[in-house]
Structure 1
Amino acid sequence: MSLAARWIRPLMVVTAVGFAGAAYAIRAALDGPVEQYSGAALSAAIVYTIVIFIRPPLSSLAAGAAAIAYCWFIEFAQLTPVPEALSQRGWIVRQLLGARFDPVDVAWYPVGVVPLVAAHWFFRARARSQAEPTPVEL
């Protein structure tokens, strides 16, 4: 197991905490559309880190697709009364499920995931190229 493979899960935990901290800092400092849109993008970024935490060998594209699909599933579930009813049970549930459908959030989830997919792909490609032996010249 490579050093990078050993550190991927702790790195995802730290990254998720950083994204959550950024989201709450923006919420505390700003009000309006920036708060709302950044919250959607950062929550999708957190979901991406959770996907990688659960399944580190997953490709960046598959992890990104899974994160966006999950976010969209939760958002569209808010068209039913279930998430709002469950959200009244506690703060954590509200953070996880939301309460009301917002079509703008549907567009902002990929904004939070696509840069992570690109970075993940870049670092994985770089690690692969460094792991490949260089040909010996005669």
Structure 2
Amino acid sequence: MVPRLPVALTATLIVACGLGVRALWDGPFSKYAGDALYTALIYALIVLVLPRARPWTVAAGSAGLSWAIEFAQLGEIPSVLRPLLGSTFNPPDLLWYAVGAATMQAAHTLWLRRRPGS
């Protein structure tokens, strides 16, 4: 189990990184970093709600949700949701969602291994 405070702080840091990347860079780097961070945030939120969840389960869930949102962009996304969910399907995004989930899974696994009794 991961304590909720470090997870909440991690989620806050992810949001700050996302805002920082968008403020400091433009173009493909900022876009794809944002994709990975979007999935990383979903990962952190899942762990916040389900602190006993296993890393591979959370990685699959966060990547799966990100992919579902991306594939939903093949249809019509309501205009009020476009700032959060996007509006244009972009196949490379799928890779970067997986990168975000895999990075978080690795960090989560390391956290659990370093804590006695986890």
With the length of structure 1 as denominator, give the TM-score of the two structures: 0.78
CA positional deviation for 1:53: 0.8
Gaps (5+ residues) in structure 2? none
Letter in 2 for 1:131: G
96, 103, 108: which one aligns with 1:108: 96
- Partners in 2 of 1:69 and 1:10 — Cα distance? 25
Q: CA RMSD in A?
A: 1.7
1:31 maps to 2:19? no
Matched, 1:99 2:49: no
Distance in 2 (alpha carbons) for counterparts of 1:12 and 1:94: 27
d(CA) in 1 for partners of 2:70, 2:102: 18
- Matched letter for residue 12 of structure 2: V
Give the match's secondary structure for 2:51: coil
1:94 Cα offset (Å) = 3.0
> Highest Rg: 1 or 2?
1
| Number of matched pairs | 118
User: 2 CA distance for matches of 1:131 and 1:27?
Assistant: 39
Cα distance, 1:10 vs. partner? 2.4
Higher relative contact order (Cα pairs below 8 Å, separated by 6+ residues): 2
1:41-120 map, 5 Å: 41-81=36-76, 83=77, 86=78, 88-89=79-80, 93-120=81-108
Shift of 1:23: 1.1
Deviation per CA, 1:23-51, whole angstroms, max 9, x where unpaired?
Answer: 11111111110011100000010000011
